Structure 1
Amino acid sequence: MATFNLTPSNPSTFSLSGIFGLETAHVWISIPVSMSYIVSLSGNVMLLFIIGKEQTLHKPMYLLLSMLALTDIAASTLVVPKALCIFWFNFKNITVGWCLTQMFFLHTVSFTQSAILMIMAFDRYVAICNPLRYTTILTNARVSKLGLVGLIRSALFILPLPLILSRLPFCANLIIHQMHCEHMAVAKISCGDITVSRMYSLVMAFVVSGIDLVLIALSYGLIIRDILKMSSKKSHQKALNTCTAHICVMLTTYSPGFFTSLTHRFGQGVHPHVHIILSNLTFLIPPMLNPIIYGVKTKELRDKVGKYTSRICSLGH
């Protein structure tokens, strides 16, 4: 990915502005950014450790949760260290090759998260609507293959984006008003025609994320249909509780990306720092909140976290 052919008018480096318009507050902004990164890494690494150590958690649901944790770690790590270098040391330059590579991996990770959330919805559908066949329909091997297909699909759809940008000329303005190389932020500083790039990204977002959202909605429609058929309130409550964590994670994952996409394409009067903050919330909030949501809402996982936390506390004393 680092050896893109650039047109003769292209430079070798770009400059990331950080949060344009709030440069004087960079040091203060770095505090919540770094704290969220620490919480994100701690939570997701703990989640992976506990799921890996506990044989009772070697199930499709927790395998999917491990995949989500890995994408959360990747997303925040691709963004935060470079952002902190800008905030603390004013290291704004980034090579074109690394910029396009970062863009490829960031958007691939985002689409992979969408695929994982879709598989999770299917997992909840089978668990509630076909509980007796759950172990035969969803095995660890099958879930692993579905996750791999989601990753390959994301990479193949994203690959044209940096390839198209690498063919565009970048003339005078080499400052990307962002903390990372987001596709539209890079496209906007080109002095060439970005119509193809803009249209491809828009169509791709609607096709890939749109299909995932339709399948998620279909899964939950079938779940709600089956819940309404249940006679007891206790059964209703139990079925809904199994979906609560997944619904919360979907809201934290899709909402920032949705608003970012809208403001980039239609919010012409919105101040640049609003675009930048919204865009980066996508890589800061979900990785921080996802392990907390599943840790709180999933009893089996909550018990295991409590067990390991007790052990650590007893060692400290």
Structure 2
Amino acid sequence: MEKLLFTGGTGFLGRNIKPILDKTYEVTTIGIMDADMIKANFVTDTPVLPERYDVVLHAAGKAHIYPKTEAERKSFYDVNLTGTIHLCDALEKVGLPKAFVFISSMNVYGDEPGKMDTEDSRPLSGDSPYADSKIKAEEYLTTWCKKKGIKLGILRPSLLAGKGAPGNLGAMVNGIRTGIYLSIAGGKAKKSMLMVDDIAYLVPLLVEKGGTYNVCDDHYPSFRELEKTIARQLGKRVPISIPYWMAKCLALIGDKLSFFPINSKRLNNIVTSDLFSNEKAKRELGWKPMDVLENYKI
């Protein structure tokens, strides 16, 4: 059984996919969490690895916060870029893997909503600290892997659905659970989403072929479909939908009060569809994505 080094393997992604990966690989997790098998801080030091690994799955990263200070902005580069460089330095000391899989993000394309965009139809224009640090990590790994003869696979996942999901999906679940969630304008906007399990199924395909891929399911769920799916699992009523004008008034308040649950930027994200094409991954890897609405369990 091949050996796989999994960074970020004890977070949301790892908790969901490590049991699947364990069936194919001998998995070792590495990171700063107590549950990690190898304790290492990629930001401050080059980690010390005990052996060579056949495959590296690099999912450790910083996300899900909006930086308010220069120190917070810098922390994205410290974790997402410097941490990646230190990991590569550590791999060189114990022997190089045959394949390296990097979990990037759709955010590398910038804030403009996707319109079934492919990997080559728009530039990497993301300028937030999160997006830019991911772009720079992709660039570093592309150069490093080419120089070292390592097969590189880069995944740009859309919104991940899975048990214990963080971010916007987690906020939706908590809002519906507590009864403080309101649907907006009928929840018609659709979003690219990916079942977190699919990351595990994509890894061996990337080890074999490499490449850079947008990954999402074929359904592109609407907000209303997600709301109904979550409410059903929680045994709650489907949230009331308020008209756009009312939501806009609330968002204007949120623009002035940072603690308010909605502002104009978040409102725009909620009412605007954001869709990316998964055709390249299906065509080149022979991948068949899971349907989020059929498989998502809270």
Give the TM-score band, short-chain normalised. Answer: under 0.3
- Pick 1 or 2: higher relative contact order, CA cutoff 8 A, min separation 6: 1
Q: Larger % of helix: which? A: 1
Bigger Cα Rg: 1
TM-score normalised to the size of structure 1?
A: 0.25
TM-score normalised to the size of structure 2?
A: 0.26
